[in-house]
């Protein structure tokens, strides 16, 4: 029988409703996931394999929570008292390709349909956890743009791909891609000249739209779409630059739809 030990709990994840807290015992050493009911003070174990915590992400409405450790991937439904083991699906899609855990914290889309899982090996992916489905937008868009633009996309390593950013407006995510345009001298010899471009991409990866800056097309900047989908706001180093009215066109650049991995196939290609 397990002896519960709650000492050194460095991973505390409060549900959006404030009703529950997920934590892992033993802090940064190997431990178990637990769920605390704030009102009743009841603590229940959620898994049975000790491992280090790699991430916890509550669904915005608090109805479920995604738990990732070094050995397991779980989806827990606190109101139902039910935990679904999605370790095989996760391993087939990500674990075999990753040396380190990906970034998943608090990265649900605003419509609560997908978790954004970012890793350099697979690029940014939209993941529908139940039933399991993966859309590998980052990797697929890079491959398409290299053929379309006839330019190489810069990657920190040959097999790394850009991350996705959640947008407040449902149905779309964004990512920044850097094209290699040439070389220039630097202290180490020859450096790369790059052009950064931001793209808005729909959830299915069937449409994308280049988002050009208003005043500084060649500078480093980011953008966000307002929650009503009416404006795009530009930033540089978290400093407001400009905003403009924005309407998503009915027709954007269409290309071969991205394939999703499912329970049957699982892995991201």
pLDDT, tens digit (0-9, with 9 covering 90-100), for 208-258: 887 765 444 445 567 788 888 888 787 766 665 666 676 665 555 555 554
Flag whether the pTM goes above 0.85.
Answer: no
How confident is the model at residue 159, as a pLDDT?
61
> Between 205 and 253, whose confidence is greater?
205
How confident is the model at residue 200, as a pLDDT?
87
How confident is the model at residue 65, as a pLDDT?
95
pLDDT bucket at 267, cuts 50 / 70 / 90:
very low
How confident is the model at residue 265, as a pLDDT?
46
pLDDT bucket at 269, cuts 50 / 70 / 90:
very low
Same domain, 169 and 266: yes
**Is 109 in a helix, a strand, or coil?**
coil
**Rounded distance, CA 221 to CA 203, Å?**
23
Number of domains in the chain: 2
**Rounded distance, CA 255 to CA 135, Å?**
15
Same domain, 72 and 105: no
**Structure tokens of 112?**
């609560």
> Which domain CATH number covers 18?
2.40.10
Provide the residue range defining the domain that includes 210. Answer: 100-269
User: What is the number of other CB atoms lying within 10 angstroms of the CB of residue 104?
Assistant: 21
pLDDT, tens digit (0-9, with 9 covering 90-100), for 78-132: 999 999 999 999 988 887 766 666 777 568 998 999 999 887 777 889 999 999 9
Same domain, 144 and 167: yes
How confident is the model at residue 217, as a pLDDT?
45
> Between 204 and 261, whose confidence is greater?
204
Within-domain flag for 141: yes
Same domain, 81 and 111: no
User: Taking the CA atoms of the chain, what radius of gyration do you get in angstroms?
Assistant: 21
User: What is the number of other CB atoms lying within 10 angstroms of the CB of residue 91?
Assistant: 17
pLDDT, tens digit (0-9, with 9 covering 90-100), for 18-48: 999 998 876 556 788 899 999 999 999 998 8
Within-domain flag for 92: no
How confident is the model at residue 216, as a pLDDT?
46
DSSP line for 183-198: EEEETTEEEEEEEEEE
How confident is the model at residue 94, as a pLDDT?
85
Same domain, 78 and 113: no
Same domain, 192 and 74: no
């Amino acid at each position: 029988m397990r002896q519960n030990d709650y000492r050194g709990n460095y991973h505390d994840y409060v549900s959006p409703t404030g009703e529950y807290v997920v934590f892992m015992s033993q802090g940064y050493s190997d431990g178990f996931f637990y769920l605390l009911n704030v009102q009743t003070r009841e603590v229940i174990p959620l898994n049975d394999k000790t491992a280090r915590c790699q991430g916890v992400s509550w669904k915005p409405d608090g109805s479920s929570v995604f738990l990732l450790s070094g050995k397991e991937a779980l989806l827990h439904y606190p109101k139902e008292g039910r935990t679904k083991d999605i370790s095989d699906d996760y391993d087939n899609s990500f674990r075999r390709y990753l040396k380190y855990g990906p970034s998943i914290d608090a990265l649900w889309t605003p419509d609560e349909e997908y978790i954004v899982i970012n890793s350099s090996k697979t690029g940014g992916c939209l993941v529908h956890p139940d039933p399991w489905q993966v859309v590998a937008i980052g990797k697929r868009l890079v491959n398409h743009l290299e053929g379309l633009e006839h330019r190489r996309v810069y990657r920190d390593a040959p097999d790394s791909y850009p991350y996705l950013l959640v947008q407040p407006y449902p149905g779309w995510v964004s990512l920044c891609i850097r094209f290699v345009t040439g070389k220039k001298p630097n202290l180490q010899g020859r450096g790369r000249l790059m052009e950064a471009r931001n793209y808005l991409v729909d959830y299915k990866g069937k449409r994308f739209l280049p988002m050009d800056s208003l005043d500084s097309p060649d500078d480093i900047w980011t953008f966000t779409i307002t929650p009503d989908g009416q404006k795009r706001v530009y930033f540089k180093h978290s400093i407001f630059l400009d905003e403009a009215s924005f309407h998503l066109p009915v027709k954007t650049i269409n290309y071969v739809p991205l394939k999703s991995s499912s329970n049957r196939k699982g892995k991201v290609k």
